[in-house]
Amino acid sequence: MSYSAGNGRAPLDRFDVFAPHAAGVVVRIDGQDHEMIKALDLPGHSPRGLEPAPEYASGEHSPMGWWTLPDEAAESVPSTTVRYGYILSKVLDPGTPEERTIESAVLPDPRSMRQPQGVHELSCTYDPADFEWTDHDWGGADLEDTVLYEMHIGTFTPEGTFEAAIEHLDALAELGIDAVEVLPVNGFNGSRNWGYDGVAWYTTQEEYGGPIGLQRFVDACHERNLAVVLDVVYNHLGPSGNYLPEFFEVFTAGASSWGEQINLDDFGSDGVRDHILDNVRMWQEDFHIDGFRIDAVHALKDSRARHILQQISDRVAETSQRTRRRAFTIAESDLNDVRMVEDTQRNGLGMDGQWLDDWHHGAHWALSGESQGYYEDFASLGALAKSMTGAFFHDGSFSSFRGRSHGGPVDPQRQKPWQFVTYTQNHDQVGNRATGDRFPQTLSTDRLILAAALLLTQPYTPMIFQGEEWAASTPWPFFTAHPEPELADAVRSGRKAEFARMGWDEDSVPDPQAQETFDSAILKWDEREQGDHAKVLAAYRELIDLRRRTPELRGGFETIRTEFDEDGRWLVLHRGPVSAAFNFGDDAVDVPLGGAASSVLWSHGAEEPAGESIRLQGSGAAVLRA
C-alpha cells in the first residue's frame, strides 16, 4: 500500500501517489491498468487536507501533486494483497510543434511498504494494522540511563532474519541492555548490505523478514523490556534502485560523500520533507519504534528557517503524545555543535542525543596506541580526559585532520552527559578499518576488560556493538551484493583507494562483494560462554549492573573530574565519591585516588587500596567509593 500522509489529516487511499509534475498517472494492479485522477479534483479528497497552493493556480498540476483512483476504479480493486506499480506520463516540448507525451516504465511505489522481488520490481500492498500487537502496556523509552546495543540483522545470526534474532533477545535482556539500535532495514538492491544503500525508505528488506518480521521483532523486544532504536538514513539514497526522481525532485545541485544531495531547501523540497517526516511517523506509529538514530546529519544541507531535524524532533514528539509511547532521537553528527541537542524552543535542532566520536577516538588511542589518520589529535591521555569532562575534545580547537579549528564547547549548565552516546567499537569505527578487525584481533583479554570498564563507567550513554560483550572473534568488514558489475567494481576500487589514503595496505582489503566477506561477519554465538569469551562477557554483565546500581556514574557534568599521568599511563575519573581508575600501561602502577577508598565496587587486575592509592596491574581497572 502507498503509505498515507496521515498525522491527523485526511488519509490517503492505498494507491494514492505523489507525482506533482506528471501529466497523467496509471496504476497497474495485478496486470490491470487504471487511470488515476488528481486527488484534489475530488470533493473532500485531499491527502493533505489543504487548499490549493497559489503557485499551482493555473491547474497545470494537482495543487498538492497527489493522484488517486476514481471511486469506481477503487471499488473494483480486490481488498486482498496485490502487486502494483505506476506508469507516469510526461509532456515534452509543450506548446511547440514537437510536443509529445511519453510514458515511463512501470515503477515501484515511492512509499511502498513491501518489495517482495526487490527494489526494481512491482510493489506489494501491506496493511500494518493487520498485525496483532501484544505490547499494550509498553510506554516507550527515554535515552537517559540507557545502555544501547548496536546490531545488524543480517549478521546477528546465521539466518540473518528478525525471527532468528528474537531467539537471542533474552541474552541481551539478561546482559542488562535497555535498547537495541538496529542498523537500517529499509529496502536496498541486492541481498547483503550494511543498510546504508537503502532506496525504498518505507519498505523493510525482504531477506530480513519484511515488515511483518520487523513488527514481530519489535513486539518481542518490548515483551523483554527492550526498546528498539532504528537507524534511518535521510542524507542520501543508494546507487541502485532509486526511482524517487521519477516522481518528485528528491535531489538538488551538489553532492555528499555518498552521492547526490537530498533536496531539503530547493524547488519542490516540501514533497521531499513530507516523504521524510511521514516515514518517521510510520516507523513510530505502525512499527512501534522507540527511537531513531539519524545517520550523518552533518550531510543534511538545509537552509530553510525550520531545519528538517527540528521538524523530525517535533514529529516524534507529536506522535509520542498521540500514541502515548515515549520516543527519542539520536543524531550522528561530527559538527561538535551543542545546538544539535538543544531544544527546538531555544532554536536548537531538538535531538535528544548525539554520537560522540571524540570520546571514542581518545579511548581508542589509549587502548590500542593507534594514532594514524583522525586519531592523530587524540594521541594523549589528556585528550581522553578532556573529552571525559567536556564531551567535545575539539571545542573550537585546531583539528589536524580537518586542517582548521573545529567545534564549540558544551554548556555544562544546559547539556547533560547522557545526551552524548559513545562507544569503544561501532559499525563505522570497526568497519572503516581495512580488514574490519575488532579489538579481540589485536588486544589481550585483560585489555578488552579494561575497555569494558572504561566504556561502562564513563559519563555518557554507552553503546555496545554486537558481539563486543563476549569479544567476538568475527570481524566486521564492509560488504555489499550489488548485482551490477560496474557498480561492484566501483565499490571495490573505491574501498581500496580510501584505505590506501589512510596508510593501510590496499591488498589486505576484503572484497566487499564476496560471499565469504559477508559470512566472516556473522556472529558465532556458540563461542559466547567459552574460555576468554566468557570472562569478557562476565565483566560486561558486572559492569552494566554496577552502572545501574551506582547513580554517581550517571550524574551531571558538574560531578566529573579527572586526573592522569601521561608517563605513568594511568587515568582516574572522579564522579563525586565514586572513582574509576585505569592503567593503560603494561606494567603495574600505583594510582593515587585523591583520598582514601572505603570500598572497592569492582576491579580487574587490582590489589586492595593502600591508603590513598591503589596498585593496578598492566591493563588493570577498579571502581571505588571514598
Residue 106 CB-density burial (10 A; 0-12 exposed, 13-18 middle, 19+ buried): middle
Residues of the binding site: 293-298, 357-361, 427-432
In a domain, 32, yes or no: yes
CATH number at residue 402: 3.20.20.80
The helix (H) or strand (E) run that includes residue 451 is: helix 445-457
pLDDT for position 203? 98
Record the cell numbers describing residue 360, joined without a space: 571514542
- Given a cut of 50, is residue 345 above it in pLDDT? yes
Residue type, 320: S
Kindly report which listed range (230-239, 250-259, 269-278, 551-560) carries the lowest average pLDDT score: 250-259
pLDDT for position 11? 38
φ/ψ bin of 65: left (φ > 0), alpha (ψ from -120 to 50), beta (otherwise): left
Residues of the binding site for substrate: 293-298, 357-361, 427-432
In a domain, 541, yes or no: yes
Q: What percent of the chain has pLDDT over 90?
A: 86
Q: How confident is the model at residue 13 (pLDDT cuts 50, 70, 90)?
A: low
Average pLDDT in the 314-331 region? 98
485 shares a domain with 368:
yes
pLDDT for position 44? 56
148 shares a domain with 75:
no
365 shares a domain with 326:
yes
406-457 per-position pLDDT tens digit: 999 999 999 999 999 999 999 999 998 999 999 999 999 999 999 999 999 9
574 shares a domain with 524:
no
Find all residues with CB under 8 Å of 307, minimum gap 6, and list them. 300, 349
Find all residues with CB under 8 Å of 117, minimum gap 6, and list them. none
505 shares a domain with 578:
no
442 shares a domain with 331:
yes
**pTM strictly above 0.75:** yes
Q: How confident is the model at residue 9 (pLDDT cuts 50, 70, 90)?
A: very low
Residue 205 has phi, psi (to 5 degrees) of -50, 130
- Given a cut of 80, is residue 256 above it in pLDDT? no
User: Collapsing DSSP states into helix, strand and coil, what is residue 205?
Assistant: coil
The helix (H) or strand (E) run that includes residue 92 is: strand 83-92
- Whether the CB-CB separation of 200 and 108 falls below 8 Å is answered with yes
Give CA–CA dist 367/424, Å, rounded: 9
DSSP state of 4: P
250 shares a domain with 211:
yes
Kindly report which listed range (95-99, 478-482, 538-542) carries the lowest average pLDDT score: 95-99
CATH number at residue 571: 2.60.40.1180
- Given a cut of 50, is residue 49 above it in pLDDT? no
Average pLDDT in the 83-97 region? 95
Residues facing residue 399 across a β-bridge: 404
| Of 546, 576, 603, the domain-final residue | 546
| Of 501, 519, 546, the domain-final residue | 546
267 shares a domain with 161:
yes
Kindly report which listed range (178-187, 203-212, 252-261, 292-301) carries the lowest average pLDDT score: 252-261
Per the model's pLDDT, the better-predicted residue between 311 and 39 turns out to be 311
Q: How confident is the model at residue 254 (pLDDT cuts 50, 70, 90)?
A: confident
- Whether the CB-CB separation of 476 and 430 falls below 8 Å is answered with yes
Give CA–CA dist 266/469, Å, rounded: 45
Give CA–CA dist 358/391, Å, rounded: 7
In a domain, 255, yes or no: yes
User: Collapsing DSSP states into helix, strand and coil, what is residue 621?
Assistant: strand
State how far the alpha carbon of 30 is from the alpha carbons of 15, 18, 25, 70, 106, in Å.
Answer: 13, 21, 16, 17, 12
- The number of distinct structural domains making up the chain is 3
User: Collapsing DSSP states into helix, strand and coil, what is residue 261?
Assistant: strand
Helix axes 308-323, 269-286, angle to 10 degrees: 30
- Given a cut of 70, is residue 12 above it in pLDDT? no
264-287 per-position pLDDT tens digit: 999 999 999 999 999 999 999 999
513 shares a domain with 408:
yes
List the catalytic residues.
Answer: 295, 332
In a domain, 51, yes or no: yes
Euclidean distance between the first and final Cα of the chain, in Å?
61
Q: By 3-state DSSP, what share of the chain in percent is helix, strand and coil, each rounded to 5?
A: 35, 20, 45
Give CA–CA dist 166/620, Å, rounded: 35
Mean of pLDDT over the chain = 93
State how far the alpha carbon of 420 is from the alpha carbons of 147, 265, 366, 590, in Å.
Answer: 12, 28, 20, 31
In a domain, 398, yes or no: yes
pLDDT for position 500? 77
Q: Say how many residues make up the chain.
A: 626
pLDDT for position 269? 96
141-184 per-position pLDDT tens digit: 999 999 999 999 999 999 999 999 999 999 999 999 999 999 99
527 shares a domain with 586:
no
266 shares a domain with 211:
yes
Handedness of CA 6, 11, 17, 19 (dihedral sign): negative
In a domain, 6, yes or no: no
- Given a cut of 70, is residue 47 above it in pLDDT? no
Residues facing residue 354 across a β-bridge: 331, 420
- Given a cut of 70, is residue 609 above it in pLDDT? yes
Q: How confident is the model at residue 507 (pLDDT cuts 50, 70, 90)?
A: confident
User: Collapsing DSSP states into helix, strand and coil, what is residue 622?
Assistant: strand
507 shares a domain with 436:
yes
Average pLDDT in the 512-534 region? 98
Q: Domain of 477?
A: 137-546
In a domain, 253, yes or no: yes
545-566 per-position pLDDT tens digit: 999 999 999 999 999 999 999 9
| Of 519, 546, 573, the domain-final residue | 546
In a domain, 9, yes or no: no
